[in-house]
């Protein structure tokens, strides 16, 4: 393939990739809340990344309004986070394991919601909010990229407000230093549950939008979602972390990170890399970025003497 | 103010690591008392503080703060009555949050946290005035992340946070042990200042006998989870390190085993 044709193909695919990146960006923001704010790697998302879509598609197929379906999806996602939170705080199961348990349980739940392994919804028959078909040659207000971008800005504004409130600050303190939080009278268990609910609510919202966008839901669509979410968080920080210090901008960086992830993915596919290897490639990239702070601390800094116990 | 009635705590019961850390300990503190706590390693000093703070629940006995039975209350609910400063300067503050955010969290100790804004504008002026008392120049760094502060600065800030919402009881758990001698002296000075300023009832663990003698109006010594010495009033004022070592040997029939407590 000559270079011009390559660039043209890439540009043609650009709107679709940006739209998909933005939708997954909402999921990435959800992961940011657990991973960066609560300091919990929450694996529930691999399950809730299907639950949201499953609820949304079944409600729309049953004739409900797309907005109602979207809200129901968010509530379903929050419930999944609630379950993980209770397993972790009330029953004392380690956070990672709690997430894995919920995720596995959700596989069955998702199958029951959809009644079979996959369901599809036609853009011609239903009034979808976003779709593959709406990324070009449609009025601006109908454009999926515009729609998701506005939605992300609203979500970031809401989250920025929330994490600046008394309750939001106490949630940040919970993730930063649990001992300090409890000494200041903060119920850290309740806050962890709340954080997991908000996070999974966002993941389910992303899932519901993704299902509308691609026109189908599949019981395996959430597999490995946590890795993509982490990739979005990490790529965003690596590229924009130095300039984006403000909390709202850090959330925006996650959405950018997600878009870049999908552009790189597209590029890698186009240069002919075996698509079977894509997950391996993603995992390797995330592993490298996650290990950098540790490697820096352990091998690349001189030991500093400090007053210790 | 504080009543501890016959509390027991055993860690890892039924295993080879079984450790009876509190063994029928009782202590009553009056309003305005400043009690210093000393004892060898494993005597139960920190365990006593954690029992009061509610880090875990005691096996037996009762704990009352200002007449309220807190024995079964979880840690975050007891926080309403308690100000705490920990041994490790990292423990008392949230490193990734700003100085003003930490103060705002402390100001709301014991109150329900709502969806109102986390720091009101009027609070900032109040915090500036409070930080001036510390004399560390922190009043000009309200938005700096606490993680950038030194250990001594963090302990001073933690002290301020523990006392700004006047606690019924201030718990200090060897809060100068991790600091260099000069910083430790400065933090102790700040401690005295805060205690006097707010007229606080205080329980201070220290590893340093001199500090234990110098500060407070009452001194207790722990051994094997019990109080073996309780010195107050005039007797406390005249106390020396030699007296204390002698009394320890009399009370326990052993030599004092914590060198740093004697030399420090």
The torsion angles phi and psi of A29, rounded to 5 degrees, stand at -65, -40
Question: Does any domain span residue A8?
Answer: no
Per the CB < 8 Å rule, is B92 touching A183?
yes
Q: Say what the pLDDT of residue A308 is.
A: 45
Contacts of A176 in chain B (CB under 8 A): 94-97
Nearest to B177 among A185, A187, A309 (CB): A309
Question: Does any domain span residue A293?
Answer: yes
Model ipTM value: 0.91
Indicate the pLDDT class of residue B264, thresholds 50, 70 and 90: very low
Top-ranked range on mean pLDDT: pick from A28-37, A230-239, B32-41, B131-140 = A28-37
Looking at the predicted structure, is the pLDDT value of residue A309 above 50? no
B181-199 tens-digit pLDDT: 999 999 999 999 999 999 9
- Which chain B residue shows the shortest CA-CA distance from A173? B94
Q: B123: Cβ–Cβ under 8 A, 6 or more apart, which residues?
A: B100, B103, B104, B107
Domain's final residue, options A207, A222, A237: A222
* CB proximity B105 to A under 8 Å: yes
| Residues A186 and A37 grouped into a single domain | yes
Q: How many residue contacts between A and B have a Cβ separation below 8 Å?
A: 99
Looking at the predicted structure, is the pLDDT value of residue A266 above 80? yes
Per the CB < 8 Å rule, is B91 touching A167?
no
Per the CB < 8 Å rule, is A165 touching B82?
no
Q: Say what the pLDDT of residue A307 is.
A: 52
pTM above 0.90, yes or no: yes
Looking at the predicted structure, is the pLDDT value of residue B227 above 60? yes
Computed over every residue of chain B, the mean pLDDT equals 92
| Residues A62 and A179 grouped into a single domain | yes
- Helix, strand, or coil (residue B171): strand
Q: Element (H or E) spanning B153, and its range? A: helix B151-164
Strand partners of residue B1 = none
The CA radius of gyration of chain B, in Å to the nearest whole number, is: 19
Interface test with B, best of A36, A161, A167, A184 (most B CBs within 10 A): A184
The torsion angles phi and psi of B86, rounded to 5 degrees, stand at -100, 170
Question: Does any domain span residue A254?
Answer: yes
**Domain count across chain A:** 2
Q: How open is the CA angle B216-B222-B227, to the nearest 5 degrees?
A: 90
Q: Name residue, tokens 């509610």.
A: B54
Least confident of A58-62, B29-33, B239-243: B239-243
- Which chain A residue shows the shortest CA-CA distance from B170? A183
Q: Say what the pLDDT of residue B262 is.
A: 57
* CB proximity B52 to A under 8 Å: no
Interface test with A, best of B54, B65, B75 (most A CBs within 10 A): B75
Looking at the predicted structure, is the pLDDT value of residue A218 above 90? yes
Buried b (16+ CB within 10 A) or exposed e, A152-163: beebbeebbeeb
Q: Say what the pLDDT of residue B80 is.
A: 94
Question: Does any domain span residue A160?
Answer: yes
Per the CB < 8 Å rule, is A169 touching B93?
no
Question: Does any domain span residue A269?
Answer: yes
| Residues A215 and A146 grouped into a single domain | yes
Interval A213-218 mean pLDDT: 97
Per the CB < 8 Å rule, is A173 touching B179?
no
| Residues A236 and A116 grouped into a single domain | no
Contacts of A172 in chain B (CB under 8 A): 94, 96-97, 101
Looking at the predicted structure, is the pLDDT value of residue A33 above 70? yes
Interval A208-228 mean pLDDT: 96
Interface test with B, best of A185, A189, A194, A198 (most B CBs within 10 A): A185
Looking at the predicted structure, is the pLDDT value of residue B263 above 80? no
- Residue range(s) defining the domain that contains residue A247: 224-302
Indicate the pLDDT class of residue B250, thresholds 50, 70 and 90: confident
| Residues A45 and A98 grouped into a single domain | yes
Question: Does any domain span residue A120?
Answer: yes
Q: Say what the pLDDT of residue B245 is.
A: 86
Q: Name residue, tokens 């560390």.
A: B136
Question: Does any domain span residue A291?
Answer: yes
| Residues A200 and A237 grouped into a single domain | no
Per the CB < 8 Å rule, is A167 touching B114?
yes
Indicate the pLDDT class of residue A302, thresholds 50, 70 and 90: low
Do residues A31 and A42 lie in contact, with contact meaning Cβ atoms separated by under 8 Å? yes
Indicate the pLDDT class of residue B30, thresholds 50, 70 and 90: very high
Per the CB < 8 Å rule, is B88 touching A187?
no
Q: Phi/psi class of residue B197: alpha, beta or left (left: φ > 0; alpha: ψ in -120 to 50)?
A: alpha
Least confident of A43-47, A106-110, B260-264: B260-264
Least confident of A78-92, A293-307, B231-245: A293-307
Interface test with A, best of B45, B74, B82, B94 (most A CBs within 10 A): B94
Q: Say what the pLDDT of residue B253 is.
A: 72
| Residues A185 and A50 grouped into a single domain | yes
Per the CB < 8 Å rule, is A309 touching B178?
yes
E strand spans, chain B: 2-11, 19-29, 34-39, 60-65, 68-69, 82-85, 169-173, 202-205, 218-223, 226-232
Q: Say what the pLDDT of residue A58 is.
A: 98
Domain's final residue, options A222, A256, A287: A222
| Residues A290 and A147 grouped into a single domain | no
The torsion angles phi and psi of B105, rounded to 5 degrees, stand at -65, -40
Question: Does any domain span residue A193?
Answer: yes
Domain's final residue, options A222, A238, A267: A222
A120-177 tens-digit pLDDT: 999 999 999 999 999 988 999 899 999 999 999 999 999 999 999 999 999 999 999 9
Per the CB < 8 Å rule, is A180 touching B92?
yes
Distance from CA of A170 to the nearest CA of B (A): 7
| Residues A154 and A275 grouped into a single domain | no
Q: Which two tokens stand for residue A265?
A: 């993915």
Do residues A211 and A23 lie in contact, with contact meaning Cβ atoms separated by under 8 Å? no
Interval A304-309 mean pLDDT: 52
| Residues A162 and A241 grouped into a single domain | no
A185-201 tens-digit pLDDT: 999 999 999 999 999 99
Least confident of A301-305, B48-52, B160-164, B251-255: A301-305
Looking at the predicted structure, is the pLDDT value of residue A116 above 80? yes
Contacts of B90 in chain A (CB under 8 A): 177
Q: Say what the pLDDT of residue A91 is.
A: 97
Q: Say what the pLDDT of residue B257 is.
A: 62
| Residues A93 and A164 grouped into a single domain | yes
| Residues A110 and A43 grouped into a single domain | yes
Per the CB < 8 Å rule, is A165 touching B111?
no
Indicate the pLDDT class of residue A233, thresholds 50, 70 and 90: very high
Per the CB < 8 Å rule, is B105 touching A184?
yes
Indicate the pLDDT class of residue A32, thresholds 50, 70 and 90: very high
């Amino acid at each position: 393939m000559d270079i011009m044709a390559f660039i043209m193909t890439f540009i043609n695919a650009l709107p679709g990739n940006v739209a998909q990146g933005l939708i997954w960006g909402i999921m990435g923001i959800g992961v940011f809340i657990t991973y960066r704010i609560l300091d919990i790697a929450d694996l529930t998302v691999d399950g809730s990344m299907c639950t949201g879509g499953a609820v949304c598609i079944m409600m729309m197929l049953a004739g409900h309004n797309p907005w109602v379906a979207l809200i129901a999806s968010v509530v379903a996602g929050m419930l999944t986070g609630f379950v993980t939170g209770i397993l972790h705080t009330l029953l004392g199961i380690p956070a990672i394991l709690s997430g894995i348990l919920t995720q596995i349980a959700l596989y069955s739940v998702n199958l029951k919601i959809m009644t079979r392994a996959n369901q599809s919804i036609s853009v011609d028959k239903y009034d979808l909010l976003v779709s593959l078909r709406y990324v070009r040659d449609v009025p601006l207000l109908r454009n999926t990229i515009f729609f998701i971008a506005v939605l992300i800005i609203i979500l970031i504004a809401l989250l920025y407000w929330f994490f600046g409130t008394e309750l939001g600050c106490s949630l940040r303190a919970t993730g930063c230093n649990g001992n300090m939080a409890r000494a200041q009278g903060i119920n850290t268990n309740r806050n962890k549950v709340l954080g997991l609910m908000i996070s999974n609510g966002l993941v389910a919202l992303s899932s519901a939008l993704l299902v509308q966008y691609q026109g189908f839901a599949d019981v395996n669509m959430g597999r490995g979602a946590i890795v993509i979410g982490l990739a979005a968080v990490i790529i965003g920080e690596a590229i924009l972390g130095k300039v984006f210090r403000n909390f709202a901008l850090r959330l925006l960086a996650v959405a950018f990170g997600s878009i870049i992830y999908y552009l790189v993915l597209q590029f890698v596919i186009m240069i002919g890399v075996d698509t079977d290897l894509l997950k391996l490639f993603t995992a390797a990239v995330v592993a490298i970025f996650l290990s950098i702070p540790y490697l820096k601390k352990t091998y690349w800094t001189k030991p500093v003497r400090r007053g210790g116990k | 103010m504080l009543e501890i009635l016959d509390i027991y705590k055993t860690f890892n019961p039924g295993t080879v690591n079984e450790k009876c850390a509190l063994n029928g300990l009782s202590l009553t503190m009056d309003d305005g008392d400043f009690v210093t706590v000393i004892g060898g390693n494993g005597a139960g000093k920190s365990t006593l503080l954690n029992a009061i703070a509610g880090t875990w629940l005691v096996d037996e006995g009762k704990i009352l703060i200002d007449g309220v039975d807190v024995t079964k209350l979880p840690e975050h609910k007891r926080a309403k009555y308690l100000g705490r400063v920990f041994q490790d300067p990292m423990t008392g503050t949230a490193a990734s949050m700003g100085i003003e955010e930490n103060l705002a969290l402390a100001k709301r100790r014991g109150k329900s946290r709502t969806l109102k804004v986390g720091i009101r504008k009027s609070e900032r002026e109040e915090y500036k005035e409070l930080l001036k008392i510390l004399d560390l120049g922190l009043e000009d760094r309200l938005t700096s992340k606490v993680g950038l502060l030194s250990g001594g600065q963090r302990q001073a800030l933690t002290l301020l946070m523990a006392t700004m919402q006047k606690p019924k009881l201030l718990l200090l758990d060897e809060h100068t042990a991790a600091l260099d001698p000069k910083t430790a002296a400065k933090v102790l000075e700040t401690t005295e200042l805060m205690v006097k300023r707010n007229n606080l009832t205080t329980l201070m663990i220290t590893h340093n006998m001199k500090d234990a003698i110098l500060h407070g109006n009452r001194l207790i010594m722990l051994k094997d989870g019990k109080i073996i010495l309780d010195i107050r009033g005039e007797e406390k004022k005249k106390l020396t390190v030699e007296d204390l070592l002698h009394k320890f040997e009399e009370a326990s029939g052993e030599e004092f085993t914590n060198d740093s407590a004697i030399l420090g």
